[in-house]
Structure 1
Amino acid sequence: MIKVNKALGSALIVTSMLTLAACGGNNENASSSNGATTQPSTTAANGETAPASASAPAEKIKITMWSQFADPNSADGGQIGFYKALEATKKQFPNVEIEHAGYANDSYKTKIKAASAANELPDIFFAWGGGFSQPFVEGDRILAIDELAKADGTLDRIVGGTTENFTYNGKLYGLPTNIATAQLYVNKELFEQAGAKLPETWDDLMAAVAALEAKGIQPIALGAKDRWPAMFWNAILNLRMGGAEASSAALKKTGSFDTPEFVEAAKKYKELIDAKAFGERFNGTSYDDSVNMFLTGKAAMLFMGAWVNGQIEGADSLVKGKVVPIKFPTIPGGKGNADEWFGGSGETFLINKNVENVEAVWSVYKFFMETMAREVFIAGSGSSAWKGDLGDTSNVNPLALQIGQLSSTATGFTYWWDQLLAGNDAESMFGALMNFISGKIEPEAYTKELQEKINSGK
């Protein structure tokens, strides 16, 4: 969870400027933690400009890596960025054998937690910040990287405010890759067919839902079967009604979920459900099926993270060129505003505390992280959390450029609920949420249940 500071608030402005101007990075040499000189910007083995962090170990070593990136052929921007970064890192460090294993989202979460419990974590592994990584830190499984990152100037190349979700008790455990946002994607062609306007307010949104429904067009694609897409809607409605500060306080256990504003947000959610905005069978629809529904023009709107940009603008997409991202509409009487976003910087890779050859692994790790930040941005899936030259941005996904402009005035962020809440709290949240959207409990009972199960005694 992040309440944005001035540095993070300007991060997307910086990225937008870098996108258009491709400004150069810092060319001063920095001394690495092992005394070797880290060159500023070299030519990588793939012919592209390598990040300043490239410094190859002399001896041959093997590094094991696990991630939630299981499909090298995916059009998802995060998957594209990961595999490009992985290949670039292998080429940059020919003496290093990187053994990667990728797993689908839910199975990955189960596997990495089991590996931690058995003290059998890989050398480097993907993680989310906040509550997800906290047990690894408290279990003394992760290498703190404060001194390493300070000694060689790595922290100077990171956009301010983007490491907060990876910092525990004043110590840093992971570097960021990108600044992710969720936005409302709108199929302009379907809106024109229904005679609906792009929604700026809640009334606009409900009018569009009614107009689309009248034309036999499903208004919004939602894959609630996987739970977290349903959470996205709860989160953004809470942001609009209660604001980023109140949302942050509830998730940090310093505030309450059971407030008039959040009850009203739940009522707005129910209003959408009752209006059949998500169709009749959204509870049985998977995330993949909902995205496919949007990509094939069978639904007019999708509220989702920027990782879908690559799919929307993909060569085989039926909606390429027809979609525009917009800020989620404001709600009259709400304490939030259009410049508060669901998202932020919360994905990282962590280093096993018991890893051998720490300095060599660190050199590989920071190169990989900076490269992935650039590649994910170029693939159109979020702004880079690293300063400096982003390389050739002429082919950057147009949706990513539009999102960068939209979010350049951001004043607050709330990160993905299920990653910031610790394991049991996340499951309690999902249990209450699914009961609510299934019609088993009313808005007032829902917010009370969240408060009782997650913030008991607060």
Structure 2
Amino acid sequence: MKNNNKRQMKKHLKKAATVLACTGMVAGAFTTTAFAEDAEQITLNVSHIFVDQTDGQCRGWYKALDEYKESHPNITIVEDTADNDAYKTKLKTQLAAGAVPDVFYAWGGGFTKPFVEAGMVENLDPYVEDGTIDLDAMMPDICNNFYYDGSLYGLPLDSFIGVLMCNQSLFDEYGLEIPKTMDDLYAVSATFNENGITPIAMGEKDKWPGLFPFGALALRYGGVEKTITMLNGEGNFDQEFVQKTAEELQKMVDEGVFASDSVALTDDEATEEFRQGRAAMWYSGNWKVDLLCEEGSPLEGKLTMVNWPAVSGADGDQNSFVGGASATLVASATSAHKKEAVEFMTFMSEHFSNYAYEEGAILPTWKYSGDMELKPFQQTLLDLMQGADGFCLAWDTLLDPETADVHSTSLQGIYAQQMTADDYVEAMAATR
């Protein structure tokens, strides 16, 4: 979404002012009202993928749902659930039939776009303007992937953040500082290489891990808005910031920032190289941080987490992150109870964010308002998210499948030193 559109939207926000007296949390975006006994009895049909009761996201969902039901006795929620693949098939069948539930789980970017274009998803802009949805209560730019033609159509569920994980003991051993700029990164990498330590572990055999450094560099050179605009189909890939990003990645490979055998390692194998102290750094999403920090891990008490280094003099966003939200709740534009459907999805989005985060299943999509004592690594990740200037998912999440394959395959070629930055840009430009 364009920044000026967001500012205009926020300018017209009417702040919700009612305290939600449930589990000690303040609801910054949703006002719970006391329902009279004679309130209209309505039913909302809700579809989602939370079927595994052992999963933290599932537990978070039902904790939020129980709370909603208790505070809305006049509303009956009828659930229709399926696991991931079966659910996607069912939704596409409903799209073809022109009928969807009142509220349904979806994914941003290209997945939800056909539903929006078919007029089946409720535009949420009016609900932002009247204060039902408070964007200021959410993490910055967390809804980026749910805007279509400048309007908001979904609210976030899960979220992640890409972090540079550093073995602090190795940095201390060689008298090095955690890198804040790319120049710093090249300098510490040279020292680690001189001492037989891989600077950054990389499992590029799986292709997707190598997308993360590239995505971070693109944000440094191009910024969040320009990057997302391009990934959503506006303009080609032969832009200066893409060229500079590819050149920087090629320089990193040529100067040995990554191990020469990175294309022969899986992500799990690269993670173990970092875990065992054979690599000084590792860059990925937050999903393995708990395992790296756990009691008995070789990295217990040694892990420092920071954002990807800045690029001095670059025009992009130096404090933005690879990450954000892809899963979303959307409301049907043909629902007989659109207002209640939007209020339900707003309530669930916010409360799920708190509860699933407390379960350790996600990073919050709303600013955390719970009172649980967080583990140190959770607090560090939360602080990084709350201080971010914006987020962009890894490119393969936003691109169509064919272009995403060209992207990941071409980047693997750079890591293998079989393709150049020019080759990458040429291959990507050919997709459009």
Task: Check the 8 A contact 1:129/1:346 in 2, yes or no.
Answer: yes
SS in 1 for 2:242: helix
Offset at residue 174 of structure 1 (A) = 0.9
Aligned ranges 1:260-279 → 2 under 5 Å: 260-279=240-259
Residue number in structure 2 paired with 1:153: 132
Distance (whole Å) between structure 2 residues aligned to residue 59 and residue 434 of structure 1: 53
SS in 2 for 1:385: coil
SS in 2 for 1:250: helix
Distance 1:170 1:442, change over 3 A: closer
TM-score (norm 2): 0.75
Match of 2:114 among 135, 148, 152: 135
Distance (whole Å) between structure 1 residues aligned to residue 421 and residue 294 of structure 2: 39
Aligned ranges 1:49-448 → 2 under 5 Å: 49=25, 51=27, 52=30, 63-66=46-49, 80-81=56-57, 83-90=59-66, 92-93=68-69, 96=77, 98=79, 100-103=81-84, 111=89, 115=93, 119=97, 124-146=103-125, 153-155=132-134, 158-159=137-138, 162-169=142-149, 171-177=151-157, 180-244=160-224, 246-291=226-271, 293-295=273-275, 297=277, 299-315=279-295, 317-336=297-316, 338-351=318-331, 361-378=341-358, 379=360, 381-385=362-366, 390-393=369-372, 395-406=373-384, 410-448=388-426
Distance 1:442 1:355, change over 3 A: same
Distance (whole Å) between structure 1 residues aligned to residue 210 and residue 156 of structure 2: 26
Q: What 5-or-longer segments of structure 1 have no aligned partner?
A: 11-24, 29-39, 75-79
SS in 2 for 1:210: helix
Deviates more, 1:349-358 or 1:269-278: 349-358
Offset at residue 444 of structure 1 (A) = 0.6
Distance (whole Å) between structure 1 residues aligned to residue 312 and residue 236 of structure 2: 22
SS in 1 for 2:155: coil
Distance (whole Å) between structure 2 residues aligned to residue 385 and residue 5 of structure 1: 20
Offset at residue 446 of structure 1 (A) = 0.8
Task: Check the 8 A contact 1:66/1:122 in 2, yes or no.
Answer: no
Offset at residue 232 of structure 1 (A) = 1.4
TM-score (norm 1): 0.71
Offset at residue 93 of structure 1 (A) = 2.6
Distance (whole Å) between structure 2 residues aligned to residue 143 and residue 63 of structure 1: 15
What code does the residue aligned with 1:325 have?
Answer: M
How far does the alpha carbon of each residue in 1:39-97 deviate from its partner, in whole angstroms, 9 at most, with x for none?
A: x4143xxx565854567995777643126xx87656xxxxx355323333146437645
SS in 2 for 1:325: strand
Q: Alpha carbon RMSD of aligned pairs, Å?
A: 4.3
Distance 1:173 1:283, change over 3 A: same
How far does the alpha carbon of each residue in 1:111-161 deviate from its partner, in whole angstroms, 9 at most, with x for none?
A: 577556655877655434333421232244434445566667234774475
Task: Check the 8 A contact 2:403/2:428 in 1, yes or no.
Answer: no
How far does the alpha carbon of each residue in 1:294-319 deviate from its partner, in whole angstroms, 9 at most, with x for none?
A: 45555432222344444444456442
Distance 1:315 1:174, change over 3 A: farther
Distance 1:281 1:128, change over 3 A: farther
What code does the residue aligned with 2:190 have?
Answer: A
Distance (whole Å) between structure 2 residues aligned to residue 373 and residue 108 of structure 1: 25
Offset at residue 179 of structure 1 (A) = 6.6
Task: Check the 8 A contact 1:126/1:347 in 2, yes or no.
Answer: yes
Distance (whole Å) between structure 2 residues aligned to residue 416 and residue 406 of structure 1: 18
Distance (whole Å) between structure 2 residues aligned to residue 313 and residue 4 of structure 1: 41
SS in 2 for 1:184: strand
How far does the alpha carbon of each residue in 1:247-268 deviate from its partner, in whole angstroms, 9 at most, with x for none?
A: 3453344445324543332233
Residue number in structure 1 paired with 2:73: none
Task: Check the 8 A contact 2:106/2:330 in 1, yes or no.
Answer: yes
Number of aligned positions between the proteins: 412
SS in 2 for 1:220: strand
Distance (whole Å) between structure 2 residues aligned to residue 308 and residue 232 of structure 1: 15
Distance 1:72 1:169, change over 3 A: same
What code does the residue aligned with 1:452 have?
Answer: A
What code does the residue aligned with 1:173 have?
Answer: Y
Distance (whole Å) between structure 2 residues aligned to residue 108 and residue 271 of structure 1: 43
Distance (whole Å) between structure 2 residues aligned to residue 210 and residue 4 of structure 1: 43
Identity value in percent: 24
Offset at residue 198 of structure 1 (A) = 1.2
Task: Check the 8 A contact 2:20/2:26 in 1, yes or no.
Answer: yes
